[in-house]
Structure 1
Amino acid sequence: MTPLEFRNQKRQILSGADLSQKGSIDKPIEDLINLINSKDDFVTTSSCSGRVILYCESAVEGRKKGCKWLYTTHDLVNVEEFLSKVDSTEGDLVLKFEPMILHIQCISLEKAKSVHVCAVQSGFRNSGISVGKHHKIIVAVRSCMGLEVPLSSDGRLMVSDEYLKFLAGVANNKMIENQERTERFSTSMKLLLQ
């Protein structure tokens, strides 16, 4: 991809609509995203700062119909609020923690390698580089410290309140670790992009 092609793609990406369910950049990584996008050789294509979600899966005749989010946070779980949203009559409930994920398109493989080193050294060891059609180079910054726990089945809660509180604590510990890794990555990227 030529520098002109990259600049044109970057312009299209930054002028396009945010297609995420939330419709905006997550506050905890807004400064990092703005820093990356302010540099000529990089553009973010998607991001999530990390989140905890309580959702329900519903099925029709054995087929997955869809899911409904009952509780979500990009920060620590508020245990009382989380517990108030646990309603097994909604469908099959699942608690999920997803760590930060960030996709950064880079102008060159050399630039991508430097971002990848920052990611891995910051604790995002599941990060990788992909080269797509027309030599589009993307760094996926990610880790594998997720959590996904089914809580109910067929309208029946399968766990106790005590276990729900325990899971909220586990999710919060993962969120704290995620925030620390994100801060390390942000610091490392600031040094790289100076």
Structure 2
Amino acid sequence: MPPADHCRIEMIAREHPPGALELRLAALSMDEAALDLEQFFRRYAPYVARIGHRLLGRDDEVDDLIQDVFLAAHRGIRQIRDPDAVKGWLATVAVRQCRRRLRARRLRALLHLDAADDYYEVADRGASPEHRAMIAGVYRVLDRLPVDQRLAWTLRYVEGERLERVAELCGCSLATAKRRIKAAQDAITAAVNDDKGKLGRRAARSVQEVGNE
């Protein structure tokens, strides 16, 4: 994230108490040099950005997502007692913020206030036309699904999370997570006219590769 974005986040943090700007995580028994907010950003912002890129499918929303997530972190990080739990906790916050953004996007679309995205920019610029079209096609299907189904499927097949972790991140039971994933996969399968769902999963692997670049 560019330095200007760090400044914007610091400004927002000052305007949203409680807590000081620095995230003093002494309770986590972490090295004090790593407790500075800037260090916290540097360590975890790329991870949050990767989640946002995959779940939202739009790079133009990722910077705002990072701000939202770290504002929440600024307020709630003191509740974490295990330093190894910080990354997982940030993922939970990121998924929650993505859900909020996707629901707002759906509402804007219903009101014709949000232009449809072609999603061709999700893939790396060096990707083949077939690769880009495959990814774009899946994201257009995801746009038509209920947000909770979209999140569960993307976490499972794009982010590569275990089913138990998908349920945890989505705040639902394991059975519910499985139902949501299946419903989303069925929709993708029907949309691409592939009775084994190969295209949907192949596209998921492609998005996963893009997110790792």
Would the TM-score normalized by the shorter structure come out above 0.5? Answer: no
Q: Answer 1 or 2: which has greater strand percent.
A: 1
Q: Which has the higher contact order (CA 8 A, sep 6+)?
A: 1
Q: Answer 1 or 2: which has greater helix percent.
A: 2
After TM superposition, the score normalised by the length of structure 1 is: 0.30
